[in-house]
Amino acid sequence: MQTVINYISQPWPWYIAGPLIGLVVVLLQWIDNNPLAVSSSYRHICAAVFPASVPFLKYNWKAESWNLLFVAGIIIGGFLAGTVFSNPLNINISHETAVQLQSIGIQDTSGFAPAQLFSFQALQTIQGIIILVFGGFLVGFGSRYAGGCVSGHSMTGISDLQWTSMLATASIFAGGIFAAYILLPLTLKL
């Protein structure tokens, strides 16, 4: 048993993880014609907790409760992967990326994300506020405006051969490249 746990505790290569994600998409389709959709859960939570009188939040979110159970599962899965099957090593990123990140001020590349930006203390810095508050806002606002995120468009939509999802994915990458090359270095210089 311990050897099994040790085995799956290693980081998974892309050719294991990718096909497994593909299987999740097929499974959700087969069970009840559902898409792999995560950002919709944010809308359901808004509709459940604070719909106010916003028409877009007035709908029967309980009919989408499968989606809320699905994301609750993701939290539990994250917990299991982070404890029971946790991989003690740091992430083995490419040398060029590590050098570039160092040159813009990210010295400590341990864990899943740099603690200087992703911690409660980071909220006392302008960089932390920009990333955690403004960045998070864009994740929620942008994914809903685009009608989906990486799961809904890039995974589900493209595999349904929807050209609109390819367009959305190209737009997402345009924004991401702009953030990685321009906005992030600027933010870290503040």
Restricting to residues 123-152, name those near other proteins by CB under 8 A. 123, 130-151
Structure tokens at 4: 């099994």
* One of 8, 102, 108, 126 touching other proteins (CB under 8 A): 8
Q: How far is CA 164 from CA 6, 26, 124, 161, 183, in A?
A: 42, 20, 40, 9, 27
As measured in angstroms, the least distance from the Cβ of 34 to other proteins is: 8
- Contact flag: residue 71 with other proteins (CB under 8 A): yes
Residues 6+ apart with CB under 8 A from 78: none
Q: Which is nearer to other proteins, 65 or 126 (CB)?
A: 65
Distance CA 37, CA 156 (A): 8
Q: Which of residues 79-108 bind other proteins (CB under 8 A)?
A: 79-83, 85, 87, 91, 93-94, 96-97, 100-101
Nearest to 41 by CA among 168, 154, 144: 144
Residues 149-188 within binding reach of other proteins (CB under 8 A): 149-151, 153-162, 164-165, 167-181, 183-184, 187
Amino acid identity for residue 130 in this structure:
I
Between 2 and 116, name the residue whose CB sits nearer to other proteins.
116
Angle at 135 between CA 187 and CA 76, to 5 degrees: 130
Q: How many residues bind other proteins (CB under 8 A)?
A: 128
Q: Name the minimum Å distance from CB 120 to other proteins.
A: 5
If one asks whether residue 112 binds other proteins (CB under 8 A), the answer comes out as yes
